[in-house]
Chains A and B, each alone.
Chain A
Amino acid sequence: MAAIIAAVDRAAFFEFLTRMGDNTLILGHRVSEWCGHAPVLEEDIALANTALDLIGQTQLWLGLAGEIEGKGRNADNLAFLRDAGGFRNVLLVERPNGDFGQTLMRQFLFDAWHHGMLTALTASADPRVAEIAAKALKEVSYHLERSSDLVIRLGDGTPESHKRMQQALDDIWTYTGELFVADETDRAMAEAGIAPDPARLRAKWEEIVTGVLTEAALKIPATGYVHKGGRRGVHTEHLGYILADMQFLQRAYPGAVW
């Protein structure tokens, strides 16, 4: 019986780690698509830096996932050799970049969650998780500071920047709820003290988001609808194209060393 529980925990632990790593991988990919195309040079630098942080975090989360799984897969195997149904990121991070406002709004809503999640994970019962979280939290604190600041400035900028930021918020809002919906994996992680129950992160997230959006003179959409599925492998059409790009070389030249 103990062995069975351990096996279930291991599967849940692996699942949890891929959720963390796939979020950072897919968002990092999206952000990196901006490279060389940002509205001002400082933003090119900041976006590359954000993408770099997220890819670095992916290496840690997926690396640990591979170890926990115990089937000999490393972070690269997980990133480059799973198909869309194997990915566990939330739908929010695979949304297309749109204009810079949409990219920024997606980043801010994610950062506000990511910050709370990592803060909680620094107290994880698993020391490796706590260690990765502590390292990532330093980076994500800066991401949140930057995205909050820009959302405020653009929301309360010109009529056009305001309109674009409101549109971005309206378009993406229904993709935020998935961050807080718990399933069996989350319950197993919470019981083991490895990760918080996602619902517990909601109040703090709402406080940050409401504060920033109010200062930005933006209106939170009234809808409570939640698009979900990514965390159990049911994605939007967009993920397939991301993977077609990302995995091309590994798929076309199996076994090559790069």
Chain B
Amino acid sequence: MYAQVIKSEGAKPRGEMSPEEIAFQERIDRGEKIEPKEWMPEGYRKTLIRQIGQHAHSEIVGQLPEGNWITRAPTLERKAILLAKVQDEAGHGLYLYCAAETLGVSRDELLEKLHNGSMKYSSIFNYPTLNWADIGAVGWLVDGAAIMNQVPLQRTSFGPYSRAMIRICKEESFHQRQGYDIMMKMARGTPEQKAMAQDALNRFWYPALMMFGPSDKDSVHSAQSMAWKIKINTNDELRQKFVDQTVPQAEYLGLTVPDQHLKWNEEKGGYDFSEPDWSEFYDVLAGNGPCNRERLGARVKAWEDGAWFRDGLVAHAEKAEARRAAAKIAAE
């Protein structure tokens, strides 16, 4: 889940809706897709821009913690797999910015908001990747948590977002398997490798749980987004599903989930588990995570250092166009 704490707009009881809004809601209720040129409430459009934009930014910033290990990947094959994965993520960013553009916001405007801090990216990417098993843990846990949210979003009401999700999910589930494969090698490797794997799980477990956002009782924006089918499941539902899926995988690896209260609850058919430390979550959102400054700083630097490159390409395109026009006049 790369969209957290998305502020949703326009929650209205049906009695206060305009006829257009009622017709729109009925289309969504019937499971129809909303396409870019069709009428939509302003709140729907704005909320989607925030959500898709945050998701896109997360893909882009998400290149950094994994990119941190590309030059140090332990084998040529692992290096190639990691490069391909990070390339996929940049590609996801591209589809998502394109999906957002259909709502009338340019990629440059969204990047401007990322760079000035007015739009966020997922809190998870503000955590460091400290050993090689972290690359496994990111694939297994972070992509695993993202998939929990993104699989239902394939059915989201906005056509371009839904179609982007369908493509993204195929690649993400592949990434998750690759991450788990790294964890298997590490967990069954030397004592040092196993220690790295356990250390990675210890550090990424709670930040992964935070990816689903605050508990439903504290999540003020969910109801409208769910009515619009921009959000399909509640935060707590997805978090529970993630824990239920992941705990047996950790057991299979012979690793210990760092939660002494973790326990199977027969009655509810799922695990009871400890909440993450939400004060840490809000600290990270506020910019005080271990890597916030580095991550955003790296993106801003890349953008600023690249200004001459982008300007150069634009200038060349203009010159080439002018030359074509001049040649056409000369020929006539």
Question: Which residues does A use to contact B, with CB under 8 Å?
Answer: 25, 29, 32-33, 35-45, 48-49, 51-52, 55-56, 58-59, 62, 75-76, 79-80, 99-101, 152-154, 156-158, 160-162, 164, 242, 245-246, 248-250, 253, 255-258
Residue in B closest to A55 when the chains form the complex, CB atoms: B80
- The contact of B71 among A32, A75, A160, A253, by CB within 8 Å, is A32
Residue in A closest to B85 when the chains form the complex, CB atoms: A48
Contact B87 A49 (CB under 8 A): yes
Q: Which 10 A-B pairs have the closest CB atoms?
A: A39-B306, A161-B312, A157-B312, A36-B63, A48-B87, A35-B67, A258-B74, A249-B74, A153-B316, A39-B309
Report if B329 contacts A (CB, 8 A): no
- The contact of A56 among B80, B90, B310, B315, by CB within 8 Å, is B80
How far in angstroms is the closest Cβ of chain A from B83?
4
Bound complex: CA A33 to CA B83 (Å): 11
How far in angstroms is the closest Cβ of chain A from B90?
5
- List chain B residues, Cβ under 8 A from A42: 94
Report if B211 contacts A (CB, 8 A): no
- The contact of A153 among B64, B70, B97, B312, by CB within 8 Å, is B312
Bound complex: CA A44 to CA B79 (Å): 16
How far in angstroms is the closest Cβ of chain A from B297?
11
Contact A52 B80 (CB under 8 A): yes
- List chain B residues, Cβ under 8 A from A160: 308, 311-312
- List chain A residues, Cβ under 8 A from B185: 257-258
Contact A99 B87 (CB under 8 A): no
Contacts A39-B302, A154-B312; is A52 near B84 (CB within 8 Å)? Answer: yes
Q: Which of B77, B182, B309 has the most CB of A within 10 A?
A: B309
Report if B331 contacts A (CB, 8 A): no
Report if B266 contacts A (CB, 8 A): no
- The contact of A256 among B182, B192, B298, B305, by CB within 8 Å, is B192
Q: Which of B60, B87, B189 has the most CB of A within 10 A?
A: B87
Residue in B closest to A250 when the chains form the complex, CB atoms: B74
Interface string of B304-332 (1 = CB under 8 A from A): 01111111111111010000000000000
Q: Which of B303, B307, B316 has the most CB of A within 10 A?
A: B316
Report if B33 contacts A (CB, 8 A): no
Contact B76 A32 (CB under 8 A): no
User: Number of residue pairs across A and B with beta carbons under 8 Å?
Assistant: 149
Residue in B closest to A162 when the chains form the complex, CB atoms: B312
Contact B315 A157 (CB under 8 A): yes
25 pairs of residues in contact across A and B, judged by CB atoms under 8 Å:
A32-B79, A36-B60, A36-B63, A36-B298, A36-B299, A41-B97, A44-B87, A49-B87, A51-B70, A51-B83, A52-B83, A55-B83, A100-B305, A153-B317, A157-B316, A158-B312, A158-B315, A161-B309, A161-B312, A249-B74, A253-B193, A256-B74, A256-B192, A257-B185, A257-B189
8 A Cβ contacts from B146-203 to A: 182, 185-186, 189-190, 192-193
Contact A258 B78 (CB under 8 A): yes
Contacts A41-B60, A253-B190, A258-B132; is A245 near B72 (CB within 8 Å)? Answer: yes
Contact B64 A36 (CB under 8 A): yes
Bound complex: CA A105 to CA B315 (Å): 19
Contact A100 B309 (CB under 8 A): yes
How far in angstroms is the closest Cβ of chain B from A137?
19
- List chain A residues, Cβ under 8 A from B64: 36
- List chain A residues, Cβ under 8 A from B78: 258
- List chain A residues, Cβ under 8 A from B306: 38-40, 43, 100
Question: Which residues does B use to contact A, with CB under 8 Å?
Answer: 60, 63-64, 67, 70-80, 83-84, 86-87, 90-91, 93-94, 97, 107, 132, 182, 185-186, 189-190, 192-193, 298-299, 301-303, 305-317, 319
How far in angstroms is the closest Cβ of chain A from B81?
9
Contact B74 A80 (CB under 8 A): yes
Residue in B closest to A245 when the chains form the complex, CB atoms: B71
Q: Which of A25, A45, A157, A242 has the most CB of B within 10 A?
A: A157
Contact A258 B75 (CB under 8 A): yes
Contact A157 B94 (CB under 8 A): no
Bound complex: CA A25 to CA B192 (Å): 28
Contact A76 B76 (CB under 8 A): yes
Residue in B closest to A75 when the chains form the complex, CB atoms: B76
Contact A35 B74 (CB under 8 A): no
- List chain B residues, Cβ under 8 A from A250: 74
Seed contacts A39-B306, A157-B311, A157-B314; 12 additional CB < 8 Å A-B pairs: A35-B86, A36-B64, A36-B299, A37-B67, A39-B309, A41-B90, A55-B79, A58-B76, A156-B319, A248-B72, A250-B74, A258-B189
How far in angstroms is the closest Cβ of chain B from A45?
5
Bound complex: CA A38 to CA B73 (Å): 20
Contact A37 B70 (CB under 8 A): no
Q: Which of A51, A80, A242, A248 has the most CB of B within 10 A?
A: A51
Contact B83 A101 (CB under 8 A): no
- The contact of A48 among B75, B90, B93, B305, by CB within 8 Å, is B90
- The contact of B308 among A35, A44, A158, A253, by CB within 8 Å, is A158
Bound complex: CA A75 to CA B314 (Å): 43
- List chain A residues, Cβ under 8 A from B94: 41-42, 45
How far in angstroms is the closest Cβ of chain A from B117?
19
